Chains A and B, each alone.
Chain A
Amino acid sequence: MSGYRPFIGLEIHVELKTQSKMFCGCCADHFHKEPNTQTCPVCLGLPGALPVPNKKAIDWTVFLGLVLGCRINKHSYFERKQYFYPDLPKGFQISQYERPFCFKGWFDEVNITRVHLEEDTGKLIHRKIEGEKVTLIDFNRCGVPLVEIVTEPEIKSAEHAKEWLKKLQRVIRSLSISDCDMEKGSMRLEANVSVSKNGKLPSYKVELKNINSFRFVEKAIEFEIQRQTELFEKGQKIEQETRGFESDKGVTYLQRSKEEAFEYRYFPEPDIPPIVFTDGELDKIRKQIPELPEEKRQRFVKEYSLNEQEADYFVSNPSAAQYFEVLYLEKNFNLDFRETARLIINKKIDWENISPADFKAEVAVLQEGGLSDQVELAKAAKIVVDGNPKAVADYRKGKTNTVGFLVGQMMKKTKVDPNLARQELLKILE
C-alpha cells in the first residue's frame, strides 16, 4: 500500500498456572474469587515483607524459552522496574531487564528477542459511585507469575500477527504451563507498530495496548498501519507513543505521549540473590520438552494417514491422541486408522469411559453386526446387572461411568452393538 512497509513486533504476557504466586505462597488461582482474599504481606506490598522466588515458575520459563528456541542465561537475576500505579503495591514490579532467563529464540519464522519472568499486578475496576469516578483495586492477581515474550519487529502484517499468535498459543497450551486464554486474561498482548518507506526499521514505534482477542489484534494493527501511513503521506512526523484500542469503533487512541513515558530506573533486585543454572539442570529441562503441536500434527498425518482436520483434532485433544495410540500398541487391533479416528472423534464408542481392551471388543461387535433382538438384549442386560452388584451399586451412587464396564461385560458374553447394549442396561438401571 503506497510503498510503506509495516514493522510489527509483539509482546505477549502469559500467566503461568502455578499453585502459588511468584514471590509468596498465596494461591495463584485468582479467577472469580472475592476481592483481596488471596493476599499476604508480600504480594500486598506491606512494609518489611520480602519476595522469595517460585522455583517452578523459573523452570517453566526456561522450559518455554527452550521450546521457543532460545538461549539461556546461565547467570540471571531479577530487577526492579519502578513506576507508580495503584495496581502496583510496592511502587516497583519485580521483573527482568539486563539478563533475562531466555534470549535470542526463534518460533515459526520469527525471531524472539527475549523470554523473561516477572510478577503480575493487581486488577483495577473503574466505576462511578454516587456520581464520583473511582477506581477499585483487587490484589488477588498481584504477584501471579507472568512470562513476557518479546519478538523482533519481523511480523509482516496484521494477519500474520494473528496467525503467528494462534500458533504460539497452541504450543504454550500443549506444554501445560498456562491456560493461555485471552478471554480469561491468562494471555495478553501488545503490538508495536511502525511503518517506513525505505525498508529500514524506523526510530519510533507505537505501542498498542488493550487488545484482548485475536480478531482485535488484526483490526488494531490494520487500523494503526493505515493511520501511520496517512500521517506520513501528509508529511507529518510520528513519535514514540502508547495507544489503546477501542474495539467498538475499531480505532486506536492516544494514551501516553513520549514525554509522559515511564522511566523505569531498573536496578538489580537486592532482596533476591542471582539464579544460576548448571548444564545438567538445563538438560533435564530440555528432556521434558514434549512433542510440539506442529510436529505431532505432521506425524499423525504421515504415520496414520489421517487428513489435516483429523490430525488437528488429536493435537487439540491430547488424551484422545494418547488413547488412539495406545490402541495400536499391541498387534491385535487391525482396524483401519481412519475408521478408528472417526469412531473416537464422533464419539460413536464411549472411549472416555472404557478401557482400550473393551474398545477393541466393541469394535469387533460393531463389525459383525451383533445382537439386535430386543428380548434377547433385555435378557442379556438383566444377566449382566444381576451378575455385577457392585458395579450397579456404584452406578446408583452416582458413578455413571460404570455403565461402560457393564456394556463391556455384555459384550464379553455375546456379540452386541455397544450402543444398543447401553440402552438396555440403562433401562434397567434407571
Chain B
Amino acid sequence: MKTTKISPQKVRQVAKLARFTLTDNEIHKFQGQLETILEHFETLGKVQVEDVEATYQTTGIKNACRDDKRQHCSLTQKEALQNAPNTQKGYFKVKGILPEN
C-alpha cells in the first residue's frame, strides 16, 4: 500500500486528468484533504485479498444485450442541441482545437 503523502505535483496531475483548473490554494487544500482521507484508508492494506475475486457487479447478470434493431427513440436535431450553449447550423460548437486524428 502506498504512503499517504501526496505531492502537490500529483494533485496537479490528478486535477489535469479531471479537467479542473485549480488555484495554488485549492491545490494545497485538496492535497491536505486527500491525504487525510487516504490515511483513513490505510487499514485496507492489511486485509488478506489473495484468492479473492473482485466484485464489480452484484446482480450476477451476464450477457445483457439487445438485438440489432433500430429504435425510434432518437432525438430530433433540435432536441439534441436544446441545452447547448453554442451551436452552428446543426452542429455543437467549441473553440478551435488542434486537429488530432
Given A44-B80, A276-B62: A137 and B100 within 8 A (CB)? no
The answer to whether A39 and B75 touch across the interface, beta carbons within 8 angstroms, is yes
Interface size class of A (residues with CB under 8 A): 35 or more
Residue of B nearest to A37 (CB): B77
Within 8 A of B (CB), among A221-260: 244, 255
Return chain A residues, CB-CB under 8 Å to B21: none
Beyond A54-B65, A132-B96, whether A36 also contacts B80 by CB under 8 A is yes
Q: Which of A16-24, A100-108, A157-165, A406-414 contacts B (4 or more CB under 8 A)?
A: A16-24
CB of A58 within 8 Å of the partner chain? yes
A36 touches B77 (CB 8 A): yes
Please state if B94 and A137 are interface contacts (CB–CB under 8 Å).
yes
The answer, among B19, B68, B77, B96, for a CB contact under 8 Å with A56, is B68
Given A34-B77, A40-B74, verify A275-B99 contact (CB < 8 Å).
no
- Given A139-B80, A273-B63, verify A26-B88 contact (CB < 8 Å): no
Most buried by B among A56, A91, A276: A56
Q: Is B2 an interface residue (CB 8 A)?
A: no
- Contacting B at CB under 8 A, from A1-59, are 18-20, 24-27, 34-41, 44, 52-58
A56 and B66 alpha carbons, distance in the complex (Å): 9
Asked, given contacts A139-B80, A273-B63, whether A18 binds B68 with beta carbons under 8 Å apart, the answer is yes
In the bound assembly, the distance between CA atoms of A256 and B23 in angstroms comes to 25
Among B63, B69, B81, B100, point to the contact of A255 (Cβ < 8 A).
Answer: B100
The answer to whether B67 and A55 have CB atoms under 8 Å apart is yes
CB distance from B9 to the nearest CB of A (A): 12
Give the contacting residue for A55; candidates B19, B68, B80, B96; CB below 8 A. Answer: B68
Residues of chain B with a CB closer than 8 A to A86's CB: 92, 94, 97
Flag whether A138 is at the interface (Cβ < 8 A): yes
Q: Contact check: which of B62, B70, B91 meets A25 at CB < 8 Å? A: B70
Residue of B nearest to A273 (CB): B61
Docked Cα-Cα span, A221 to B81, in Å, equals: 41
On whether the beta carbons of B88 and A136 are closer than 8 Å, the reply is yes
Q: Return chain A residues, CB-CB under 8 Å to B91.
A: 35-36, 125, 136-138
Evaluate contact between B75 and A135: CB separation under 8 angstroms: no
| B17 on interface, CB distance cutoff 8 Å | yes
A187 → B minimal CB distance (Å): 14
Contacts of A136 in B (CB 8 A): 88, 91-93
Q: Are B95 and A34 in contact (CB under 8 A)?
A: no
Distance between Cα atoms of A56 and B69 in the complex (Å): 10
Q: Which residue of A lies closest to B68 (CB)?
A: A56
Residues of A within 8 A of B92 (CB): 36, 86, 136-139
A386 on the B face (CB < 8 A)? no
- B57 in the interface, Cβ–Cβ < 8 Å? yes
Q: When A24-B71, A26-B71, A255-B100 are in contact, do A35 and B63 touch as well, CB less than 8 Å?
A: no
CB of B45 closer than 8 Å to a CB of A? no
Whether B77 lies near A134 (C-beta < 8 A) is: no
Q: State how many angstroms separate the Cβ of B33 from the closest Cβ of chain A.
A: 20
Residues of chain B within 8 A (CB-CB) of A82 are 17
The dominant DSSP class at the B interface is loop
Task: Please state if B97 and A135 are interface contacts (CB–CB under 8 Å).
Answer: yes
> What chain A residues lie within 8 Å of B80 (beta carbons)?
36-37, 39, 44, 139
Q: Which residues of B contact A52 (CB under 8 A)?
A: 64-66
**Residues from 180 to 202 in A contacting B, C-beta threshold 8 Å:** 188
Instruction: Using A20-B71, A24-B71, A56-B67 as known contacts, say yes or no to A35 and B90 having CB atoms under 8 A apart.
Output: yes
Separation of A210 and B59 alpha carbons in the complex (Å): 42
Residues of B within 8 A of A57 (CB): 68
Residue from B59, B70, B98 within 8 A of A26 (CB atoms): B70
Q: Is B101 an interface residue (CB 8 A)?
A: yes
User: In the complex, what's the smallest C-beta–C-beta distance from B56 to chain A, in angstroms?
Assistant: 5
B8-26 vs A, Cβ < 8 Å mask (1 yes, 0 no): 0000000001010000000
Instruction: Tell yes or no: B3 within 8 A of A by CB.
Output: no
Is the C-beta of A265 less than 8 angstroms from some C-beta in chain B? yes
**Interface flags, B42-82, vs A, CB<8A=1, else 0:** 00000000000000110101111111111101111100110
Beyond the given A86-B94, A273-B57, please list 14 additional residue pairs across the A-B interface where CB-CB is below 8 A.
A25-B71, A26-B70, A34-B77, A37-B90, A39-B74, A44-B75, A54-B68, A58-B65, A86-B92, A125-B91, A133-B95, A210-B101, A255-B98, A273-B62
Q: Which 3 A-B pairs have the closest CB atoms?
A: A25-B71, A133-B96, A56-B68
User: Could you pull out 28 A-B pairs where Cβ atoms are within 8 angstroms?
Assistant: A19-B70, A25-B66, A25-B69, A26-B73, A34-B90, A36-B77, A36-B92, A37-B77, A38-B74, A39-B80, A40-B75, A41-B75, A52-B64, A53-B65, A55-B65, A126-B99, A134-B94, A136-B88, A138-B92, A139-B92, A210-B101, A244-B100, A265-B17, A272-B64, A273-B57, A273-B61, A273-B63, A273-B64
